[in-house]
A and B are shown apart, each in its own frame.
Chain A
Amino acid sequence: MKQATIELIKGLWKENPTFRMLIGMCAPLAITNMVFNGIMMGLATTFVLVLSGLVVSLIKNIVPHKVRIPVFVVIIATFVTVADYYIAAYYPDTHRVLGLYLPLIVVNCLILARIEAFASKMPVFKSFMDALGMGIGFTLALVIISSVREILGFGTWLGIKAMPASYQPMSIMIQPAGAFITLGLIIALINIISRKKTSGDSA
C-alpha cells in the first residue's frame, strides 16, 4: 500500500511529466492560454492514461512482445476517441478550442512512455496508481501554466476577473511565445527549489 502511494506521489513532483521529465510537451504549449482548456485537456489525458494503463496491465501477459506497440497504440487511440466523442457531445465549446489537440493525445509520448515503461511490466493496481499520479501531475502542470498565461494575457482566471480594470493584457502571453516563456520560467523556478532541497538534504 505504501509502495502504491509512492507511485502516486512521484508523478506530482519528483517525476512530474511536464516540469521534470519534459515529455508530452505538445499540449502544455498549445492549449494553455485559458485555465478551463488546461483543466479539460488534463482530465482527458488522465482519463486516457488511467484506462489504457489498466487495460495494458491486464493483458500484458497475452500480448506477444513483437506486436506490443501496435496493440498499445490501438488501445490508447480507442480511449482517446471515446474522450473526443464525449467532449464533443457535452462540451461543444471546449471541443472547438481543443480541436486537433484532442485526437493528438494518441501520440502524446507521456502516455506511451508510461505504458511501455510501467504498465506493461507492473501489476494492475500499481499501474493504476502510477497513471493516476502522472495524470494529476500533468493536469496540475497545465493548470499552473494556463493560470499564469490567462491572468497575464486576459486579466482573468477561469473567466473570473483577476486584474483591476486598468490592467492592459499582455497579449504575448496568450500567443505561442507566451507558452515557451512561461514554461521556461516555471522550470527554472522548480530547478532552483529542487536544487536547494537536495543541497539541504546533503548538508
Chain B
Amino acid sequence: MKETARMIIVLTATCILSAFVLSYVYDSTYERIAQNKSGALLEKASLLFNQQVTLEEKKTSLYENNVGVYQSFAVYDNEKNKLGDALVIDYPGYNGYLRIFVTLRQDTVLGIEMISQSETPGVGSRIAESDFKDRFKNKDLKTFDVDTISGATISSSSVIKAVKEYATRYEDEAGNN
C-alpha cells in the first residue's frame, strides 16, 4: 500500500511540475510564435506588392475538405488605400497538401509564394524556387496560362490549377457582392 501511494505521488508530482514548467515556457514564447506566423505572411505580401502593406482578414466560403481558400485578406497600403487581395490556398500536390500564398489586383495575379509544401526534394520542390514562382507575375486570370516544370509536372500543374481555380472563384464571388 505504501509503495502504491509512493508511485502515485511521484508520478503526479512529476506531471504537475512538468505542466508548471511548460505553461511558463508557453507564456514566454507564445507572442513571438504568433508574431512569426503573421509576420511571415505580411513580409510575403509586402514583397509581392513591392511596398509596405497591411493585411485585414476577410471571411471566405471557398474552403471545403481541406482544399480551397484557407484565409483571405484585403491588402492596404499605409494610407489605407486598397491595393488588392491576398489568398492562402490549400491544394493537394504530389506528396501532400500545398499551401500557396497568392496576391491579386482585381483580375490580375501579382505573384505567388509557397507557404508550405512537401514535394520531392530537388524535383517537385522546384515549385518553391523563384524561377517557377516568377512565371505567375502579372498574369491576367482571363487568359491565365503558365508553363509547368518538366520533370515536376504534377507538382507544378497543381500549383497552376490551384491558383487559377481559386483566384477566379474568389474574384467572381467578390465581384458578385
By a beta-carbon cutoff of 8 Å, the part of chain A in contact with chain B is 33, 62-64, 66-67, 70-71, 74-75, 77-78, 81-82, 85-86, 88-90, 92, 96, 153, 169, 171, 174-175
A114–chain B nearest beta-carbon distance, Å: 19
Contact among B36, B37, B116, B121 with A33 in the assembled complex (CB-CB below 8 Å): B121
CB of B15 closer than 8 Å to a CB of A: yes
Q: Is the interface of B mostly helix, strand, loop or mixed?
A: helix
A171–chain B nearest beta-carbon distance, Å: 3
Q: Is the CB of A85 within 8 A of B14?
A: no
Q: Which stretch (B3-11, B61-69, B139-147) binds chain A? A: B3-11
Q: Once bound together, how far apart are the Cα atoms of A86 and B120, in whole Å?
A: 28
- Contact A92:B21 (CB < 8 A) given known A64-B3, A85-B33: no
Tell me the number of A-to-B contacts counted with CB atoms below 8 Å: 61
Q: Is the CB of A92 within 8 A of B10?
A: no
Q: Is the CB of A85 within 8 A of B3?
A: no
Q: Is the CB of B122 within 8 A of A171?
A: yes
Per-residue interface assignment for chain B, residues 22 to 39, with 1 indicating a CB less than 8 Å from any chain A CB and 0 otherwise: 100110010011001100
CB of B40 closer than 8 Å to a CB of A: yes
| In the complex, chain A residues whose CB is within 8 Å of the CB of B116 | 96
A176's nearest neighbour on chain B, judged by CB, is: B121
Q: Is the CB of A71 within 8 A of B14?
A: yes
- Contact A92:B18 (CB < 8 A) given known A169-B122, A171-B123: no
- Contact A89:B33 (CB < 8 A) given known A67-B7, A82-B22, A174-B121: yes
Q: Once bound together, how far apart are the Cα atoms of A153 and B122, in whole Å?
A: 8
Give 4 nearest A-B pairs by CB, closest first.
A171-B122, A89-B32, A89-B29, A92-B36
